[in-house]
Structure 1
């Protein structure tokens, strides 16, 4: 028997060590909700500070579905914990109307509003952001043609 077949037969015959063992990962399974949003920035991302002093970016993405009279816009608030540097500067430079694709982790929080009514909020923490299309800026286009 070849060395390859001996190794393969041992790998198949090996029992799982624990009930939570996963063949593709060495970590235990965790419940995780992910979301992908494609839409337009409602405004440029805004830099804020948490109660602990950690800075983060906060922005909203508007995503449309349907057409004509059935068109509906959904608004998603997103938090980004980009460290100070060129990446955060890039995010802050994105203008309103930029079409983006955001991938992030989702959680739901329960809270009581100002009127005492129980509410739920969808929290999205950005993992990845990709710029799909920047809004047309006629002033920038005129500047580029004047330089040529």
Structure 2
């Protein structure tokens, strides 16, 4: 049985499925894809090291109309100054976006000493799918 056929049947050996094609070590990265609406206009925030990052929130809803659940995702972007960054900063609340990012879970203690967890998403790419309809300027 050929490797391609074994692989198609899910029978590939662990040696055959190793990272033989790459000389770099494997990195454990969790990826996330979000399709949703911007919760507000993206804003620039300074880090403790003096660098600036762009932060925004994406709301994604799922489920039937009578019982829709909305999840809110906080996203950070390290886009340098330039046209891409200005485009992202100009997107209004409600813009439908497709975001791909790296996801990490951080655990910390709050002011009361309780252990909390937070999902951190670092943007890899963003695509604008639809801008919200403009309000009538004469209204």
- The answer, yes or no, to whether TM exceeds 0.5 is yes
Q: What pairs with 1:15-34 in structure 2 (closer than 5 Å)? A: 22-34=19-31
Residue-by-residue CA offset, 1:104-141 (whole Å, 9 max, x unaligned): 0000001112222110000000000000000001337x
1:69 aligns to 2:63 (yes or no)? no
Q: TM-score, normalised by structure 1?
A: 0.78
User: Unaligned 5+ residue runs, structure 1?
Assistant: 1-20, 143-148
Q: TM-score, normalised by structure 2?
A: 0.82
Q: How many residues align?
A: 123
Residue-by-residue CA offset, 1:22-47 (whole Å, 9 max, x unaligned): 23322111111000000000001010
RMSD (Å) for aligned C-alpha atoms: 1.9
Select the structure of larger CA radius of gyration.
1
Residue-by-residue CA offset, 1:68-123 (whole Å, 9 max, x unaligned): 33210000000000101111101000000000000000000011122221100000
Larger fraction in helix: 1
